[in-house]
């Protein structure tokens, strides 16, 4: 079974090449490059149906041409991904170990004790 998305138009079995979304507040139909993921409120269209697209009366059709240089991630995208992988692979720094105030030899008159915690006042 093919994983390519098909045109959303009824009875059309051609492969989708563009995604249509509606911006109701602006009365605009936006036709752009095929979205990475199928969205429930977007329509994937084949080449034929995307060329013949019309919008309701009074609406504007905005056609976004695909960027020919955007075939794959840019160098900046790859560096950002590599940095994120390095950061995720780095072992976490150990948290500083705190000892109860009695073991540290603190003066009990310097703060208010709440259970095992001590609120220190600045002088």
Q: How does pLDDT run across 91-108, given as a tens digit for each residue? A: 777 776 665 555 555 555
Q: Sketch the domain layout of the chain as residue ranges.
A: 1-92
Residue-level pLDDT at 1: 45
Q: Take residue 91 and report the two structure tokens written for it.
A: 């072992």
120: pLDDT strictly greater than 70: no
In percent, the amount of the chain with pLDDT more than 90 equals 37
CA 80 to chain centre: 14
Q: Take residue 55 and report the two structure tokens written for it.
A: 């919008």
35/44 Cα distance (integer angstroms):
8
Lowest mean pLDDT among 22-31, 76-85, 98-107, 111-120: 98-107
Q: How does pLDDT run across 11-43, given as a tens digit for each residue? A: 999 999 999 999 998 999 999 999 888 888 899
Residue-level pLDDT at 91: 77
SS3 for 64? coil
Q: How confident is the model at residue 122 (pLDDT cuts 50, 70, 90)?
A: low
61: pLDDT strictly greater than 80: yes
């Amino acid at each position: 079974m093919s994983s390519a998305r098909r045109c959303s138009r009824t009875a059309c079995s051609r492969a989708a090449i563009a995604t249509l979304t509606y911006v109701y507040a602006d009365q605009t139909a936006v036709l752009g490059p095929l979205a990475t993921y199928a969205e429930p409120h977007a329509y994937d269209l084949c080449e034929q149906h995307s060329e013949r697209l019309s919008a309701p009366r009074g609406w504007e059709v905005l056609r976004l041409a695909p960027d020919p240089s955007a075939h794959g991630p840019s160098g900046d995208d790859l560096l950002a991904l590599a940095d994120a992988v390095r950061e995720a692979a780095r072992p976490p720094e150990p948290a500083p170990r705190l000892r109860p105030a009695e073991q540290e030899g603190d003066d009990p008159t310097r703060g208010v004790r709440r259970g095992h915690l001590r609120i220190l006042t600045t002088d």
